[in-house]
Structure 1
Amino acid sequence: MFCPQCGKENEAGARFCGHCGTTLVQPANEPAPERQPVPEQPVTPAEPVRIVDLTRADAGVSPGLKWGVIAASVVFPIVGIGMGLYYWMRAESPEKLATGKTWFFVGLGIIVFYLSLGTEQY
């Protein structure tokens, strides 16, 4: 079907011109395209919703992350303090709260240790 306004060709059965937006009139001798029936598909049940229990042991922090942050705190104590405050303030479980406090105090302890190395004693 051609647009009467701009002359561009459009899909058969289009209501508007794809180029200029003019309303297209269906010719009287050309029937509107029929909709094809959609074949029925079997209904599959949805996946069950998994409820997370925050009191379980696996709701905590992995051992690798625990030791990794502590090791990073030795070189960059601000990592331990930052991660510790983050986990301390956003604790979702008692284990995460304890881990956050540990990281915070390890980072703070490392800073105090580094500062004590830098002071001169007379």
Structure 2
Amino acid sequence: MFCPQCGKENEAGARFCGHCGAAVGEPAPEPPPAPGRPVAPGEPVRIVDLSRAGPAVSPGLKWGVIAASVVFPIVGMGMGLYYWMRAESPEKLALGKTWFFVGLGITVFYFLLGTEQY
């Protein structure tokens, strides 16, 4: 950066000339932050590319977890919570909720079935 007064070269970003003291110019303002949620320092950033996304899960896994939930309801609730909390797409979010509530429903059903008095 050159001084408009004396023509001497100064360091980049200098506000005043180091030779004559004249105002050289204001440093360029920082660019505004990108829109969206601010990211805390050290927080990992997950970038999800939905343009290459295939189906949320295979149909076999979808129905397999529901079938396993009938025998072991904790499987449905566990997989449901996992997909619910780590959803990368609306389809996985809906699938996680479905698995969770199927597992919860089967648990309530087993509880009611087991508490029946004879």
Query: What TM-score, normalized by structure 2, do the two folds share?
Result: 0.55
**Aligned residues with identical type, % of pairs:** 87
The answer to whether 1:54 aligns with 2:85 is no
What is the aligned counterpart of 1:109 among 92, 100, 105? 105
> Is 1:53–1:59's contact at 8 Å kept on the other side of the alignment?
no
Q: Between Structure 1 and Structure 2, whose CA radius of gyration is higher? A: 1
Give the superposition deviation at 1:79. 0.2
Residue of structure 1 equivalent to 2:92: 96
Opposite residue 76 of structure 1, the aligned amino acid is: F
Q: Distance in 1 between matches of 2:72 and 2:96?
A: 16
Tell me the residue number matched to 1:71. 67
Residue 77 (structure 2) pairs with residue 81 (structure 1) = yes
Looking at structure 1, the residues matched to 117 and 51 of structure 2 have their Cα atoms a distance apart, in angstroms, of 50
Aligned length: 71
Q: Can you give the 5+ residue segments of structure 2 that lack an aligned partner in the other structure?
A: 1-47
Aligned-CA RMSD value: 2.0
Shift of residue 120, structure 1, vs aligned partner: 2.6
Which residue in the other structure is 1:120 paired with? 116
- Going from structure 1 to structure 2, the CA distance change for 1:113 and 1:54 (only over 3 Å counts) comes to same
Deviation, 1:59, is: 4.3
TM-score (norm 1): 0.53
User: How far did 1:61 drift?
Assistant: 1.1
Task: Tell me the distance in 2 between the aligned counterparts of 1:58 and 1:72.
Answer: 24
Residue deviations 1:35-84 (CA, integer Å, cap 9, x gap): xxxxxxxxxxxxxxxxx742676241111100000000000000000000
Q: Which amino acid aligns with 1:91?
A: A
Alpha-carbon distance in structure 1 between the residues aligned to 2:51 and 2:112: 40
1:100 counterpart letter in structure 2: G
